Chain A
Amino acid sequence: MNVKTFDYKVPGGKLLRIHAVFELDKILECKIFGDFFMHPEEAKEGLEAFLLGKTLAEINPELIDNYLLDNQIELYGFASKDLIYVLKQIYENL
């Protein structure tokens, strides 16, 4: 599998780095790194798992925000739209 990486310094926020593998526009693998804050920290793996198997067409900020809200996850330094932006950058540069 060909893992692709994209780094994005969120304006006014933190660095968001994603490693992802796509099959067409479906996310097969996704690892999120960076100098942001997430409360609770252990929620990172759950968020990554939530994105797996979804296509870029399916993902939108509301979907991710609802997941964060349902699981009481707070992000500081990036937002759902930044996550989607980075995934799209990876996909478009495959």
Chain B
Amino acid sequence: MKIYRDTKNKGAVNMAVDEYLMLQSAADNEIIWRFSGPKNCVYLGYFQSAEQELDLAKCYADKIDVIRRQTGGGAVYSDSELTYSVCIPIGHPFLKSLGVRESYEQIIQIIIKGLKQLGIKATFKPLNDILVDGKKISGNAQTRRHGVLLQHGTILMDVDVDKMFSYLNVSDEKLRDKFVKSVKSVVTGINHILDVSLSFQALQEHYIAFLQEEFKAYKPEVLDLTEALKEAASEKFVDKYFSDSWNFKY
């Protein structure tokens, strides 16, 4: 098993690296984790329309990249989160079930256990959310291709709901204030819960140490994700995550 320590990246790079690591996971038949973060981007769910979901003029004005994920789910903008990605070859003994619901829960429970070690009591809300005191702290999404299951998700740290939703279209602009207020009451971040604020690096190191212990049997190897790997991934998927034909396909 490999655990990659990564930095905050442009959204297209993150998506390209995720898919590149799926190929690596398939080739080496091993589990690969990666911890990274987004930089100046809105991620769209696979089935969402960029034009319908986003305030594209504001995205362009603020130099926010619009990047379509290879996974379903909703649009998300956050500049304060830890993103985890895990690639598991289909048929790997770690996967207790191939079922989508069951595998979501199996992976999400690991993230929840990591939160518990920080003193945060979180719960799984099917299909793909993690809640703390009824508020969402993490959204997760899964796909299967190249013979590998990829699940990636957010672990929100600081939440600025006004900014988070400033790039998203709200169907009735008059309802935006009401919408933002209602979202504020249902979303939270780690640093809103803990007495001491954690940095991106501190949370990343917490999860890396936690996984090393949790997956001791798989002899995890912790590596810094290299620029060379990012460049190779970006080159391989240049026509996908770096192209308008993908990001604006719907």
A residues at B contact (CB < 8 Å):
7, 14-15, 17, 31-41, 44, 74, 76-77
Given contacts A7-B171, A74-B100, A77-B127, contact A39 B143 (CB under 8 A): yes
The A contact surface, by secondary structure, is strand
Task: Give the number of chain B interface residues (Cβ < 8 Å).
Answer: 23
26 contacts between A and B (CB under 8 A): A7-B171, A14-B74, A15-B74, A17-B49, A17-B52, A31-B250, A32-B47, A33-B47, A34-B47, A34-B48, A35-B45, A35-B73, A36-B72, A37-B71, A37-B128, A37-B142, A40-B143, A41-B46, A41-B47, A41-B70, A44-B47, A74-B100, A76-B101, A76-B127, A77-B72, A77-B127
- Count: A-B pairs, CB below 8 Å: 54
Would you give the 0/1 interface string for B24-65, flagging 1 where the beta carbon is closer than 8 Å to chain A?
Answer: 000000000000000000000111110010000000000000
Question: Would you call B145 an interface residue if the criterion is a C-beta within 8 Å of the partner chain's C-beta atoms?
Answer: yes
Asked if residues B144 and A37 are in contact (CB atoms below 8 Å), the reply is: no
Asked if residues B72 and A35 are in contact (CB atoms below 8 Å), the reply is: yes
Would you give the 0/1 interface string for B192-230, flagging 1 where the beta carbon is closer than 8 Å to chain A?
Answer: 000000000000000000000000000000000000000
Query: B143 — which chain A residues lie within 8 A by C-beta?
Result: 39-41
